[in-house]
Copies of this chain bind each other. A is one copy, B any other.
Amino acid sequence: MHGFSHLYIPGPTNVPEEVRQAMNIPMEDMRAPDFCDFVRPVLEDIKKAFRLRNGRVFIYPSSGTGAWESAISNTLAPGDKVLMARFGQFSLLWADMAERLNLDVDLIEVEWGKGVPVEEYAAKLKADTDHAIKAVFVTHNETATGVTSDVKAVRDALDAASHPALLFVDGVSAIGSIPFEQEDWGVDLAVAGSQKGFMLPAGLGFLGVSDKALAINASNSPKMPRSYFAFDEMIKLNDTGYFPYTPPTQLLRGLRVSLDMMLAEGMEAVWARHAYLAEGVRQAVAQWEGCKLVAAAPEWQSNTVSAIYTPEGVDAKEVISIAYSKYRTSLGSGLNKLAGKAFRIGHLGSLNPVMLCGALSATEMALRDAGAKITPGAGVAAAQEHYRKHA
């Protein structure tokens, strides 16, 4: 099929040309005497994207899932009680991992479409006067439902209860795209991945770690068994500007450029850009008769991905399949209990209004082809007007 393909899944996102150029390179010697001069500033600058003044960010050759595991296995012990909430496929998978790693998971089920139940968390933390809860988990942006949770409020709940539990955040589809303040919000373990807001191919897992979590890691006992993701060797080598095993240098060269782009723009501007682009998509969805966001209320709406219920009788799988095969456009699928009921438009990373008008057009055509009675062009028109006026 001719023309470019159109990628509007919530990651991998579209890699900017500058980053693509930077990755078009021959291999290099990851033990060269000057390789550390390249690595050290990368390790320093990625902290700025996490808004971390102290602590560290680890860069693993892995997916974001690997960084989830690193966070758990380096700071918790088998049997530790942790507080989690499940309201989408990714919070579900993280809870599943916690159980596989032998944590004692206090799991709160939440209606899909809402996020972390801050009041329930607060109540449990307040009640936990002997501090049995060792960690509190927050999926900042549930990629499956397009729901953003209030991380800061969970920090406030911990503080209100003077509770020492570690605060874990899955920021995979949040960090680099929507407001996130690891230092100011007291997040101890913050997970991200290369293929979302960082605008790179998949292949790197990032883990922002607070000084508090580093101290716990240095002393924790009994330990969870760990090796590949262990902090100690990574710290030892990172401190010299190298890695304990062969790093994907191609991705690191790309990361250098994507960090340069983000920091030159300014994180606040990056976040504002995501909000501006996301709002256009929501304005479009509002025009589509019978469609609605999975996010149950405006406060839950994500600026990086919108999950959208198809109208009664319209199979979301068919919408996605038509978009892909007839319009060369990849939309995100409805995962787990949303399968067939919802599709997703990823609107994070390197995008602009014309790209999203194209994505919305593909969606409108596919919806109509699949039987939805929406007005052609209505969503695009609403998005256009939003983009024009708020540029």
Contact = CB atoms under 8 A, between A and B. Distances in A.
Interface of A: 1-7, 9, 11-17, 20-33, 60-66, 68-69, 73, 78, 96-97, 100-102, 193, 195, 201-203, 224-230, 244-251, 265, 273, 321, 324-330, 332-333, 350-355, 357-359, 361-362, 364-365, 368-369, 375-378, 380-382, 384-385, 387-388, 391
Contacts of A329: 354
Contacts of A224: 225
How many identical subunits does the complex contain?
A: 4
A247 B27 CA distance: 21
Of all A-B residue pairs in the complex, the 10 with the closest CB atoms, nearest first, are A377-B381, A3-B352, A358-B358, A357-B361, A29-B330, A377-B377, A203-B248, A12-B27, A376-B381, A63-B245
Contacts of A20: 24, 26
A142 B1 CA distance: 28
A20 B32 CA distance: 22
B4 A14 contact: yes
A354 B229 CA distance: 39
Given A63-B246, A203-B203, 10 more contacts: A4-B4, A21-B25, A23-B23, A29-B330, A61-B63, A61-B66, A100-B227, A193-B246, A361-B361, A361-B384
Contacts of A321: 33
A97 B201 CA distance: 29
A362 B380 CA distance: 11
Contacts of A100: 225-227, 230
A22 to B, nearest CB: 7
A44 B25 CA distance: 29
17 contacts: A3-B351, A5-B28, A12-B30, A15-B26, A15-B27, A20-B24, A21-B24, A31-B332, A61-B66, A63-B247, A66-B66, A96-B227, A100-B225, A361-B361, A365-B387, A376-B381, A380-B381
